[in-house]
Amino acid sequence: MAKTQRLDIVTPEKVVFSEEIDFIVAPGADGELGILPEHAPLVTALKIGTMRVQQGGKFFKVAVSGGFMEVKNSRVVVLADTAERADQIDVERARAAKQRAEQRLSGKAAEIDVVRAEVALQKALNRIKTVE
């Protein structure tokens, strides 16, 4: 029987996922990280990106927007700012958020928080990319 590892994806609002998996690729702060069972202990920051999870030979995607990942004893714990499985993402809502962020950035108004608008745009683009 193939070895598995436990994956727990948790946000401040809820537990998004908590099951045994085969493999995960996560968007680490310094690049993508592939984690197999019995991986060496690791703690890393996560950036906005898409996690790819293999479970039972099938892959699914999860959009995350930052946080941390800990790997220890064939267990992966993701503490994410936000996390959504691709099959639960409202694409129209993500497209509307993208459009709002682009409008704020193109407006060049002095009262606009540019960093916040850029992060909102990155999150919206990541949600759209995760579904496609």
The whole-model pTM stands at: 0.86
**Mean confidence (pLDDT) of the chain:** 91
d(CA 5, CA 10): 16
Residue corresponding to tokens 């060049």 = 108
Phi, psi of 94 (to 5 degrees): -65, -40
Distances (CA, A) of 4 to 13, 26, 41, 96, 121: 27, 17, 16, 38, 35
Residuewise pLDDT in 10s, the chain (132 residues): 469 999 999 999 999 999 999 999 999 999 999 999 999 999 999 999 999 999 998 999 999 998 999 999 999 999 999 999 999 998 999 999 999 888 888 876 667 777 888 888 889 988 989 988
Residue corresponding to tokens 């927007």 = 65
d(CA 116, CA 121): 9
- Helix 91-107 × helix 114-131 angle, to 10°: 150
Provide the pairing of β-strand 15-21 with 75-80. unpaired
Q: Mind listing the domains of the chain with CATH numbers?
A: 5-86 (2.60.15.10), 90-131 (1.20.5.440)
Phi, psi of 72 (to 5 degrees): -165, 130
Q: What is the pLDDT of residue 72?
A: 95
Q: What is the pLDDT of residue 113?
A: 76
Report whether 53 contacts 64 (CB < 8 A).
no
Q: What is the pLDDT of residue 100?
A: 87
d(CA 72, CA 67): 17
